[in-house]
Amino acid sequence: MTMVLVTVALTGQSVRAHEEDHQTEDQLRREQLRIAVQEICPISGEKLGAMGTPIKVAAGDSKEEVYLCCEGCTNGKIDQKLWGTIHRSIAKAQGKCPISKKDLPRKPKSTVVEGQVIYVARLASIEEVQAEPEAALLQVDEFYASYIKEKKQREKKEEKREHN
Interacting residues toward Zn ion by CB under 5 A: 44, 69-70, 73
Cα angle 133-30-156, degrees, rounded to a multiple of 5: 130
Give buried/exposed letters for 138-162 (b at 16+ CB in 10 A, else e): ebbbebbbebeeeeeeeeeeeeeee
Measured from the CB of residue 50, what is the shortest distance to Zn ion in angstroms?
Answer: 9
Q: 69 and 37 in contact (C-beta within 8 Å)? A: no
Q: Which is nearer to Zn ion, 66 or 73 (CB)?
A: 73
Quick count: other Cβ atoms within 10 Å of Cβ 55?
Answer: 22
Measured from the CB of residue 82, what is the shortest distance to Zn ion in angstroms?
Answer: 12
Measured from the CB of residue 89, what is the shortest distance to Zn ion in angstroms?
Answer: 18
Indicate the Cα dihedral angle 8, 13, 19, 20, nearest 10°.
-170
Q: Which is nearer to Zn ion, 77 or 101 (CB)?
A: 77
Q: Which is nearer to Zn ion, 69 or 117 (CB)?
A: 69
Q: Which is nearer to Zn ion, 70 or 129 (CB)?
A: 70
Measured from the CB of residue 68, what is the shortest distance to Zn ion in angstroms?
Answer: 6
